Amino acid sequence: LAKTTQPISMDSYEGQEVNITCSHNNIATNDYITWYQQFPSQGPRFIIQGYKTKVTNEVASLFIPADRKSSTLSLPRVSLSDTAVYYCLVGELGSNYQLIWGAGTKLIIKP
C-alpha cells in the first residue's frame, strides 16, 4: 500500500533555510508530488508540485531524486509567518486515481 511519511514536527529560526523531506517508496509512474501549507482554521494552500528533478517558484523549491522515492520541500529564508503544517501529497487523478496524503509536518519558526 502506497504511503507517504514525513516528520511530525520541525523547528527553525527566522532567516534560515528549511528542508522538509517526504518519503514515498511506492510512488507510481504517473504520480505527481504536491506540497501544501495549512494554517489553523484554514484549508490547505498549494505551494508547489513536481514530477521529477527540481521545481522552483516564488515561494519554494522542490527537489526530487531520480528514483522519486522521496522529495524535499525547501523554504528559503523563513519568517515567523511560515509557521504552519506542511503536507506532502503523492498521487494522480487518472483512471486509477490515488491520492496519498502525508500526516503533515508542523513547522515552528522562532525569532
Partner 1 sequence: DVKVTQSSRYLVKRTGEKVFLECVQDMDHENMFWYRQDPGLGLRLIYFSYDVKMKEKGDIPEGYSVSREKKERFSLILESASTNQTSMYLCASSFDRDGISNTEAFFGQGTRLTVV
Quick one: CA torsion of 41, 88, 72, 75, rounded to 10 degrees?
Answer: -20
Out of 44, 70, 71, 75, the residue judged to bind partner 1 by CB under 8 A: 44
Give the shortest CB-64-to-partner 1 separation in angstroms: 14
C-alpha to C-alpha distances, 92 to 27, 47, 71, nearest whole angstrom: 10, 17, 16
Residue 40, interface with partner 1 (CB under 8 A)? no
Query: Site residues for partner 1, window 88-107 (CB under 8 A)?
Result: 89, 91-94, 97, 99, 101-104
Q: Which of these, 82, 45, 77, 50, lies nearest to 64 by C-alpha position? A: 50
Residues that bind partner 1 (CB under 8 A): 32, 34, 41-46, 49, 87, 89, 91-94, 97, 99, 101-104
